[in-house]
Structure 1
Amino acid sequence: MKNHDKNDLSAESRELRHRISLLERENAHIKNALLESEEKLSTLISAAPDLLCFKDQYGRWLEANEFTLNLFGLDQYQYKGKSDLELMEICSNYPDALDYCACTDKQAWLAGNPIKVELDISTKNGYTITFDIIKAPIYYPDGSPKGIVVMGRDVTTRKQMEEALRQRQKEFRTLAENSPDVIIRLDKNLTYLYVSPSVTRYTKIDPRMFIGKSMGKIAPSKEYITTFQEWKREVLAVINTGKPSTIESEMKLWWRRGELVAYHARFIPEFSESGLVESVLCIIQDVTEKRLLEKEFARLDRLNVVGEMAASIGHEVRNPMTTVRGFLQMLSKKSGCVQYNDYFTIMIAELDRANSIISEFLALAKNKAINRELYNINEIINSMMPLLEADGLMANKYIKTSLGEIPDILVDHKEIRQLILNLVRNGLEAMEAGGTLTIRTYLEGNDIILAVEDEGSGIEPEVMDKVGTPFFSTKEQGTGLGLAVCYSIANRHDAMLRYDTSLKGTIFFVIFQDRNGTAKEAIS
């Protein structure tokens, strides 16, 4: 029995020793693995290109990687066990940054959770290095403070890129919000991302009302539907092809009595990094004034051609006409021709009318010499009033004046008289009996404005493009030279002739530009 017990104890002893041996080998394996893991972690921390530092609960440095030591110039010093304030005395780089670190450690302990701060370090070369710092306090199981982990990454390049992007966005916004052009950005789903304030001038809608809405879901009014559909087709084509597109067209502004506005629209694709179109930039430019100027230049070119023809042949035609008129006058006085005097009178009157037309024809000449002197347009108008009122009374029409205070300017007074006479007679002929024609003068900025307003039925839309064209007239007995002469006179005086017409009448504006800006000074 005793031998049997001894054998059992011996077996149990061997089993126990075997288990202890296994545990020792397992512990050795775990220890080696732990040491290997610690070595790898240490190597990783040391080689990390980021700021890494471990401190105890009192802020004393326990461990720091190579990047951190080099940054603060502590690689040659015994830093372990020293606080930030103590290290300030021995570090060669950025002691102020260490002071900031000590302050933010306190903030992390007060927060009780990881906090994020930004550290700016000014280098000796005048550059600023920016770090995003995370400070994470560590606690023992009982809640008492154990230490703090400090991790930081150099975000200088990112900050510079963000600042450059902010600057570009600011420049774009400044440009877009002060541009007279309408600038719109749409994503690939045709949703408005940005609409410049200038859109209000054409739609009377706040640009913020567009943002986030689909292009197909918002149109200012029925009049704009066709225009918006045309734009939508172009935007879709740009998204599908990746190629820019341009259109030129016109649209009516309902709130400006259906005024036609000519526009030039350009649609430009904006690509993502993958090369796909992610948005479209639309730039809509009002080219109404440009179109008007092009028409004005074309009209002036026609005037110049006619004027050059007039200058070259006018005198050649007048000479034989003068001879014929002289012979007609001589024959009318002969006793044998008395019976034909009525015919002679008609022929002489027609020759005089032809001579008058030639005189107007010659007035179109671009290089016609003019004699400019200082005159006040109000004085010229007042001197003409007896003649103008007589013309009006003969047709039972009235003329009134509203003459503002304007300075003297250099003009050829004979040509200005002709200009005023032609505009007034045109206005009188456009009105029914009992109508009133108004002549106004006033200052607009530095420009002197002469305005002649009638109460006629306005200029028909289909003839607007022909106004001022030589030999074009809507009157049965008109020569078509009256307004053409007015345009030529205005051109020779560096003035502009414009008109505004409606069913209630027409206003012709002659704008004498004060290029030296002396008009207001002369008044004061």
Structure 2
Amino acid sequence: MKPDKKINILLVDDRPENLLVLESVLSSPEYHLISVNSGEEALKYVLMYDIAVILLDVQMPGLDGFETAKMIKSREKSKQIPIIFITAISQALEHVKEGYHAGAIDYIFKPFHPETLKMKIEAFIKIYKYQEQIKMQNEVLNVIGETLEDTLVTFDETGRMVTINPAITKMFGYTEEELIGHPIKVIVPDLSRFFTKSKKLGRIIEVSASRKNKSIFPADIQIGEASIEDQLIYVCSIRDVTERKLLEEERFRKIFEATPCLVSLQSVVDWRYINVNKSWLTYSGYNEYEEVINQTSVSLKYIFHLNESGETVVDMSDLHHPVQSSRIKYLNKSGELREGLLSTEYMDLHGERCLLSVITDITERVLVEKEMARLDRLNLVGEMASGIVHEVRNPMTTVRGFLQMSKDFPSHEFIDIMIEELDRAHNIITEFLSVSKTNSVERISKDLNEIIELLFPLIQAKALYSDLQVHLDLNLCPVLQINEREIRQLILNLALNGLDAMSAGGTLTIKTFQEDNEVILAIQDEGCGIKKEVIDKIGTPFFSTKKDGTGLGLSICHKVASEHNATIKINTSNQGTTFFVHFIIKGNQVNVVS
């Protein structure tokens, strides 16, 4: 009902003065008062207008009020219109019963109170407005239900369908009558798998729906919940997404074919190849799709890296869980061993469980990386050779000069200086050999704290000589698989560097602790810190911030850490520098219990 539409009230009385009174009492901008003088006219206007309420006089010539009321109630269009009898004849019980039997819902006796009449009319008008609103909502819902392409189904707590819209016929091939009262699983077989377990109302769920002819199609469903007269009802909308799925498959097919990665799709049931892309054929060594598609004998052998534990050969059927960018080697048809990154994902395709495999071939990249590493090593050797020549040439020049002078002025002082310079050259060569040494050494299970405690007197003696302090903060840590000699050298190099970085009165702190799956050694000094512009060069052979340093000490530390699968991190500021050495705890190591 439009807001500006007036409400029709029909006034029926054979006396004009009575109609005038009624009009004056009920006059309102909201009402359209229709006044007629007979029952015959009343029947005509009931057919012409949508009447909200009828005020009907009982005693009229021709058709009286009772007869008029019976005829109004006998018609389908007007039988719901409320009728109020107005009479001055009799208030006898029999008379009133006759009026109610004729279809009246109320009686007003003359003379009536104007306000009482207005209040009764207003009450009926409210009921009328409410009914019109419900009628309009029902009409809208009916239109939506009849024109909507989605299927709308309501079902009760037992899963049986209560109402269905006409779209069911086009989508599923059933009539509404064929499904009412039947379980909803007839059309959505796997609904219970999503609905009863999670009860996630309002969310769009992707399911497989079943038509009358038993064909399956993909559908999106959305379920809402309502309570009607204390009965729980579920409202389910079903949308056929076959066209969308076809577009998605077409998009997937284009990506599938265009990607440079090796992509394959296999059935999990028998591991036959459903599809492979052109890159897969190229890298695997097969020439034609017919050699691979629907074949179960064709298979690439995947060799998975297992860190220090070596490698293992794996078939796709052994992959029970998806993997993401796993480093592998794979053998192609011609026996060539290539390298790649493998990612897998399980998926359902047309009701069949499949495994999607994507390999990013990195064989050429690995070769380039190896060549770059080789060139880097050659470059490093060149830099180190240049540095060692420079460092060794200085003491040799000194020795040669003093030997030449000793021809004319022999002196023990010269000999001491020459020995000192030769020792310096010897130390440089020894440290250089330590950096370049690649021989593997045996490792044992050792507590890092024990090594530090053994070295503590030596470090403390060096500190006291320079008016410095050493503080140990050793916490309980698991034992590590280490080479004790190399770790002693690492700790001494870092500790002595820390002492050299401080002025008198400073404190060197050596700390150990466990964090997650790592044992961490922290050596902290109270020096002035390392400048940001040189921090990246720390550990480079022959680069040193010390006046007489060679830079080989920290190079040895980095080499020892690398051989123990450890990493060295630096935290520096103007308050001091801390070197952190992170040792990874292996699976077979156990905590030391005091």
Which category of TM-score, normalised to the shorter sequence, fits these structures? 0.3 to 0.5
Q: 1 or 2, which has the higher helix percentage?
A: 1
Q: Which has the larger radius of gyration?
A: 2
- TM-score normalised per structure 1: 0.41
